[in-house]
Amino acid sequence: MNSFINPPALSNKNTLGTLIENKTTFTVNNCELVLYETHDTAKGVHLLFNDFCFTSMLRGKKEMYINNKTKTFSYLPGESLIVLPGEEMVIDFPEADDTPSQCLALSIDSNFIKQNIDYLNDKLPKQEGNWNIKEDLYYLINSQSLASATQNIIRIMSETNPAKEIMADLALKELFVRLMQTQARQYFESAYKDNTNNNKFSFVINYIKENLHKKINIDKLANITYMSKPTFYRAFKQEFGITPNEFILSERISKAKKLLSKLETISQVAFEAGFSDTNYFIKVFKQLEGITPKAFQRTLAVH
């Protein structure tokens, strides 16, 4: 599914105060949104936030690490990071001369975070565990819902509207929930890979991933968790922000993209990814990826 955010237009570089991490700032009650632009190649740029910060790459490329936490890694569009207060990032911009980089940083007030976590745990308790931000799960591949919520808050905070504070507060709450749901999905997928978690949803994800080539019955998934079908359906969507059927479909498309990289026929890919009808597979793939499977396959052949 498309997890990219449509970036705002770049500034005219001749109008910028600096060509390296130039800041455009928007502020409301509980958060501050900063859009960073870099138009020059640079190395060893230091950046630190005083508050909890959600960042998302919009265009271009950074090579970076977070002090005492990571090795150097590439930061690309479709990816997001959680940066804790006081954590320092060190950033290189190897391609900014030719491809300017653009990144957003959303600093969120700690009281807002606590109040909303407490509210969710009180009003919408999870089946297992509590709502919370997992600070050790700081690198995220954007889900479609997280990208959409991020897009929405960029739009609201960058416009002039008398109701901006109210709309931004609602948008920030949605983004915060989507962030936790995206983390939960990646956490359980990681636990499935490492076999380190016995949570019911880990078993569900395990079953789905191992049986994508088959017809997957929601009743079977509910039985794995010892829940009724309606309870399972509701709990799954609450945990991950998408329905079980949407998750299965996204996993099948992900598997199909890997199979297409092996240059198999479209009908073979459809069958192995769990689609009984090739035409339906082509239709769904184009809806979610924006191009047909054959066109996607051609882009892989070019690279």
Residues 141 and 263 placed together within one structural domain of the fold: no
> In terms of domains, do 190 and 205 share one?
no
Cα 118 to Cα 128: distance, rounded to the nearest angstrom: 16
According to the model, what pLDDT value does residue 206 have?
Answer: 84
Write the pLDDT tens digit of every residue in 102-155: 999 999 999 999 999 999 999 888 777 788 888 888 999 888 889 999 999 999
Total number of domains in the chain: 2
The answer to whether residues 93 and 20 touch, using CB atoms and an 8 Å cutoff, is yes
User: For residue 221, what are the domain limits?
Assistant: 200-302
Helix, strand, coil percentages, rounded to 5, for the chain: 45, 20, 35
Provide the pLDDT for residue 28: 94
Helical axes 110-123 vs 164-194, angle rounded to 10°: 70
Q: Are residues 183 and 280 in the same domain?
A: no
Question: What does the pLDDT read at residue 72?
Answer: 92
Which pTM value belongs to this model?
A: 0.75
Whether residues 122 and 66 fall in one domain: yes
Spatial neighbors of 113 by CB under 8 A, at least 6 apart, are 52, 133, 176
36 and 175 part of one domain: yes
Q: What is the CATH number of the domain that holds 276?
A: 1.10.10.60
Q: Are residues 186 and 256 in the same domain?
A: no
CB 191 within 8 A of CB 197: yes
Q: Which residues of the chain have pLDDT under 50?
A: 1, 192, 195-196, 303
Residue with tokens 């609450």: 238
pLDDT score at 200: 77
pLDDT of residue 262: 83
Domain match, 108 and 237 both: no
Listed residues 164, 196, 228: the one ending a domain: 196
On whether both 254 and 158 belong to a single domain, the answer is no
Residue 92: CATH number of its domain: 2.60.120.10
Rounded Cα distance between 293 and 198, Å, is: 36
